[in-house]
Amino acid sequence: MGSVAAQLRQRQWKRDSYLISTDPSLIPMDQLMAAFDSDDFYWTDSLPEEAMREMVEQSLCFGLYRVDGQAASDAGASAEAGAEAGAGAGTPGPESRAQLHVPSPNTKLKLLGFARCVTDFITFLYLTDVWVDHDHQGGGLGSWLIRSVQEVVEDMPHLRRSLLFTGDWDRSVPFYERLMHMQLIDCRRESGGLAIMERKGRGHPGFGREGTGYN
Ligand SMILES: CC(C)(COP(=O)(O)OP(=O)(O)OC[C@H]1O[C@@H](n2cnc3c(N)ncnc32)[C@H](O)[C@@H]1OP(=O)(O)O)[C@@H](O)C(=O)NCCC(=O)NCCS
């Protein structure tokens, strides 16, 4: 069985030659650092490599990859087999978690997206560092990535709250409202500050009820 953290770090989803995985050992640190140093990461830069590694190891990270070459067809075959097995058990369609083999060390994984959850794996989860490679934006990968995060969030039985901050009121607020059912916490748009968004988890006393309070 293993700890909840260990289980949550074994989740994966497959679509065509793309893979989303929560396995931190798959993350190519050089590619992640390059992403953090790109213009898209306007809220931070990369940290020294040891600090980056520790940050990744102590979070729940979602890596979105293009699986290249032979590895892609191997992974695809495994995914189909897993999907078939899942279908028999009533598991839903193509976006469902696929029972993939963890790619071998020789597999070429190109990091195309990333999302990081700072979490105790039980009661609280803060989503940050959401990114899709500039050349691949606008094609649905970001939505898929965030839906996979939300699938995990919805599965956490004792989660009280998921939370995020964003400065992009126009695009990101509706994005997270739509994909994660996040709600704005009472804060004033006029102040020019960050939007704070939350979603009650299944462990919240007000789970399933409107509003952001406890009642
Ligand atoms: C936000 C981001 C991950 C979305 O990934 P994507 O692959 O382009 O997403 P999709 O193609 O699935 O969907 C695009 C949707 O994301 C929305 N979006 C949310 N935040 C966005 C942003 N900062 N930049 C561009 N689009 C954004 C778009 O408005 C679009 O909505 P629509 O479908 O209603 O038109 C990606 O644009 C990105 O990495 N942006 C730069 C980094 C960033 O701003 N991250 C922080 C977000 S809080």
Domain boundaries defined on the chain: 4-139, 160-215
Q: Model's pTM, two decimal places?
A: 0.85
Give the number of the atom of ligand 1 that is nearest the alpha carbon of residue 131: 39
Confidence (pLDDT) at 206: 87
Pocket probe mutation, ligand 1, options 42, 143, 179, 196, max atoms within 8 Å of Cβ: 143
d(CA 102, CA 169): 37
Q: How far is CA 107 from CA 11, 64, 178, in A?
A: 18, 14, 34
What is the mean pLDDT of the segment spanning 185-190? Answer: 73
Confidence (pLDDT) at 106: 65
Q: Which protein residue has the closest C-alpha to ligand 1 atom 39?
A: 131
Select from 78, 62, 212 the least CA-distant residue to 146.
62
Q: Mind listing the pLDDT tens digit for each residue in 102-119?
A: 566 667 899 999 999 999
Q: Report whether pLDDT(178) > 50.
A: yes
Q: Mind listing the pLDDT tens digit for each residue in 130-164?
A: 999 999 999 999 999 999 999 999 999 999 999 99
> By the 8 A CB rule, do 185 and 212 touch?
yes
Confidence (pLDDT) at 74: 45
Kindly give the interhelix angle for 172-180 and 141-155, rounded to the nearest 10 degrees: 50
Q: Report whether pLDDT(187) > 70.
A: no
Q: 60-68 and 124-132 as β-strands: parallel, antiparallel, unpaired?
A: unpaired
Instruction: Say yes or no: CB of residue 177 within 6 Å of ligand 1.
Output: no
Q: Which protein residue has the closest C-alpha to ligand 1 atom 12?
A: 140
CA of 138 to the centre of ligand 1 (A): 7
| Of residues 92 and 48, more confidently modeled | 48
Structural class in CATH, domain 4-139 = alpha beta
